[in-house]
Amino acid sequence: MEKEKYGYMSILEASEKIRQGMVTPVALVSECLARIAQLNPALNAFITVLSEEALKQAAVAEAEIKKGQWRGPLHGIPVAVKDFYDTTGIRTTAGFVHFKDRVPAKDAVMVEKLKAAGAILVGKTNMHELGMGTTSVISYFGSVHNPWNGAYVAGGSSGGSAAAVAAGLCYATVDTDAVGSCRLPASCCGVTGFKATYGLLSGQGILAGERTDDTILKLAHVGITTRWVTDTAILLNALADHPNPKREYKDDYRLAFASGKKYRMGVVRNFESTADVRDLFYATVEGLKESKHIFTETDVPFASAVFDIRTIDADREKINATLFKEIDLLLLPTTTDLTPTIDVAQKLGPQAVSPNNTFFANYFGLPAISIPCGMDKNNMPLGLQLVGRAGDEGAVLDAAKDFQEKLPVMHPS
């Protein structure tokens, strides 16, 4: 299949082509559905594919746009959501046997916002069962396979989403991230995984009515998976709640890309990693030092003794004044080791992809993003992580876009 026809365009580019009449929503959705039919049997990225519904909605979007009723850059764009998010009349399973026939009566808030923006939902993506793992190997619907090499894990718990975006099965997904669940698979699959400051995006409607763990609720963030940082900003514009009128770029996060700011980059010293990951990380940083930004070294409170759910709110208040006193952004590897094979992950257990470099951002509620930074010795992608102070999504996105333009562009063959 000719993947370059539409599949790896950015949302921004696809949206412009739709507005100019060079491509239609029906054509974009049709190509994504064809790629799903061709590739999903091997990847197992989707639990539910909404072929008929998606084509109907694409036709509606096409008619609206022709009438001049364009809703914005997501109008007519094929997207998917992790099968954690409730969808009206469409099963929502969380990859769990006891939820395999669970059909909600109401959309999650994030799904409502996607629909309001005119995005076309092509399906629900596979995930690690109940979000309780980082490999997406354990799911009632079977393991997710990495599109770069099917013998390897896709990461988790949002593994199906990262695999789908990497393989060009959709343009973006909405996910969750409680310990790194969006950023880890983004690193494993060579795409962009983002979570905003805690509370900016609503998690209402994630398995609504089911029992939940209060600790997880304090750590869980909504995640966004795309191929390009510019597309992440488009999704964030559509999905964000803006209770704080002082929040910079609250009306359009893409304005951050024109800021021209020079950021103080804190290159983390005390992260956990193997030599392979460490070497690639430092080689990447050396290459980025030619940019306009200022680089210095710093440490991050990774120790488990720091993380106490009883003091999490107070700790979140303190972190901006301490960790970000002398720097604007943190730089560190997303993962601690090379992506494992599915066979190895099955032996190591649910957290075979370690969250030790990502969890601190969940605990402190900080905005964070993983972008592809190169390939390891097994020809599998690795990610570079940027973490910012609470409320400063603009800086995270701006710097990540700057770096992404300097790093290699990668798509699986």
Please give, one letter per residue, the 3-state secondary structure of 43-80: HCCEEEECHHHHHHHHHHHHHHHHCCCCCCCCCCCEEE
Q: Which residues are catalytic?
A: 82, 157, 181
Contact 184, 131 (CB under 8 A): no
| For the chain, the helix, strand and coil percentages under 3-state DSSP, each to the nearest 5 | 35, 15, 45
Residue 117's DSSP bridge partners are none
| Dihedral sign computed on CA atoms, order 146, 151, 152, 153 | positive
Strand partners, 298: 268
**b/e per residue, 267-306, with b = 16+ CB within 10 A?**
bbeebebeeebeebbeebbeebeebebebeebebebeeee
Q: Which of 149, 235, 151, 239 minimizes the C-alpha distance to 192?
A: 235
